[in-house]
């Protein structure tokens, strides 16, 4: 039986650590274009209390989105021990492409996947590059597409990258700019002949609410009418996103587990996209409630079940989940560990609004060496 198995992972985190005091010099405006009269100290402290973000990472101006995607891709390929010319597809998840560090204009042609293939120096003409523009849910959606291609026997090995340089797409006059970060993650997914049925990618689902929810996260001019440096800035309706996430995500995750004939107790780790720690904790608590877990044990259970990186790395969009996965597999998130035979649940929420989730079970031994 052919199963879709992760044969390698990699990530890239920029070296530039941006602490909260970096924003003390900013001038923040509200949604009406009026200067916020509260002190920056008060704004930053409230923001950090809600999101728990203490630090985030920004790339150097010498790097582009496709550059950091390539770094993560090289590390995933090295980890997989699969020769780059044996990659049949490259699926690159992102939202803004390569952003020019001077003009701040998004560049999406040629595609990021094509640029990654070029920078990896892959000569195979049959290696097809696809871009996945799917909000913060892009990497998991790329994994879903890759699994479908592998199961249909259109491919043997697929490289899925995820990268974003959101520091180049934020409005410096918007308080929400403190959420966003830069980074890249990657994985190699391969079709492996295994006798056991429930290994690798077991089940997944995607839900897209693209009506009024379409505008919860989009682009727009600066909140400061005088700011003209960039006409394309991330605009986020945090309250609506929070309400949507708490209503829809727990129900969908339980539905995924139910379809796979699994219980939450079968899941060793939940790797969730991290934009706001308060929101992620609330999502998990509602999921626990669906399983009638005792609230008295909820806090400690959450910390063991759901590893968090947002405090130090911020929200790196599509890169969050694969970066978290690679950090754990490299034993850089101790005491969090993933062992052979463990089953994990990966989930994300992003612009659209799109949400998705995937159940993955690690083989007890490496069938691909």
Going by C-alpha positions, the residue among 195, 319, 218, 338 that lies closest to residue 267 is 338
In a domain, 154, yes or no: yes
Give me the pLDDT at residue 368, please: 46
Quick one: 32 and 169 in the same domain? yes
pLDDT of residue 369: 46
pLDDT at 31: 86
- Residue 149 lies inside a defined structural domain of this protein: yes
β-partners of residue 157 are: 190
> 189 with 221, same domain?
no
Q: Of 193, 214, 249, which closes a domain?
A: 193
Q: For residue 184, is it left (φ>0), alpha (ψ between -120 and 50) or beta? A: beta
Q: Is residue 337 part of a domain?
A: yes
pTM for this entry: 0.92
Select from 148, 166, 193 the last residue of a domain: 193
Q: Is 277 in a helix, a strand, or coil?
A: helix
Residue 54 near residue 20 (C-beta atoms within 8 A): yes
- Note whether 239 and 299 are same-domain residues: yes
Query: Quick check: helix, strand or coil at residue 120?
Result: coil
Query: pLDDT by residue for the chain (369 residues), tens digit each?
Result: 889 999 999 999 999 999 999 999 999 999 888 899 899 999 999 999 989 999 999 999 889 999 999 999 999 999 999 999 999 999 999 999 999 888 888 888 999 999 999 999 999 999 999 999 999 999 999 999 999 999 999 999 999 999 999 999 999 999 999 999 999 999 999 999 887 778 999 999 999 999 888 888 888 888 998 887 877 788 888 889 999 999 999 999 999 999 999 999 999 999 999 988 999 999 999 999 898 887 656 667 788 899 999 999 999 999 999 999 999 999 999 999 999 999 999 999 998 889 999 999 999 866 444
| The domain boundary residue, chosen from 193, 217, 233 | 193
Task: Assign residue 342 the CATH number of its domain.
Answer: 3.40.47.10
Size (the chain), residues: 369
Residue with tokens 């949604």: 31
Structural domain including 92 reads 2-193
Residues facing 290 on adjacent strands = none
- Secondary structure (3-state) at 30: coil
User: Is residue 117 a contact partner of residue 90, using CB atoms and an 8 Å limit?
Assistant: yes
In a domain, residue 369? The reply is: no
pLDDT of residue 51: 92
Q: Work out how many domains the chain is built from and give that number.
A: 2
Same domain, 158 and 98: yes
């Amino acid at each position: 039986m052919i199963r879709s198995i992760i044969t390698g992972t990699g990530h890239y985190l920029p070296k530039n650590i941006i602490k909260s005091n970096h924003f003390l010099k900013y001038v923040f405006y509200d949604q009406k274009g009026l200067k916020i009269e509260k002190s920056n100290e008060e704004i930053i402290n409230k923001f950090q209390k809600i999101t728990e973000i203490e630090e985030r990472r920004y790339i150097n101006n010498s790097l582009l989105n496709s550059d950091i995607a390539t770094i993560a891709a090289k590390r995933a390929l090295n980890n997989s021990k699969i020769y780059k010319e044996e990659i049949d597809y490259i699926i690159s998840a992102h939202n803004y492409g390569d952003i020019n560090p001077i003009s701040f204009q998004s560049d999406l042609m040629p595609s990021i996947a094509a640029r990654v293939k070029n920078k990896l120096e892959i000569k195979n003409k049959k290696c097809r590059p696809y871009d996945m523009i799917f909000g913060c849910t892009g990497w998991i959606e790329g994994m879903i597409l890759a699994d479908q291609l592998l199961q249909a026997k259109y491919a043997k090995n697929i490289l899925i990258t995820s990268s974003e340089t959101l520091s180049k797409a934020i409005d410096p006059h918007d308080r929400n700019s403190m959420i966003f970060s830069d980074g890249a993650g990657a994985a190699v997914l391969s079709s492996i002949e295994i006798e056991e049925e429930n290994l690798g990618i077991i089940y997944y689902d995607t839900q897209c609410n693209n009506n009024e929810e379409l505008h919860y996260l989009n682009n727009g001019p600066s909140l400061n009418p005088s700011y003209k440096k960039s006409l394309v800035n991330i605009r986020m309706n945090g309250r609506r996103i929070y309400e949507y996430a708490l209503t829809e995500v727990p129900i969908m995750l339980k539905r995924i587990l139910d379809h796979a004939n699994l219980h939450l107790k079968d899941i060793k780790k939940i790797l969730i996209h991290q934009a706001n720690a308060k929101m992620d904790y609330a999502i998990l608590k509602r999921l626990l409630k669906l399983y009638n877990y005792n609230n008295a044990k909820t806090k400690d259970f959450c910390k063991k079940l759901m590893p968090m990186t947002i405090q130090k790395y911020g929200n790196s969009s599509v890169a969050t989940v694969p970066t978290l996965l690679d950090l754990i597999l490299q034993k850089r998130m101790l005491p969090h560990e993933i062992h052979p035979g463990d089953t994990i649940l990966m989930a994300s929420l992003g612009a659209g609004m799109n949400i998705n989730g995937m159940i993955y079970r690690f083989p007890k031994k490496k069938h691909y060496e």
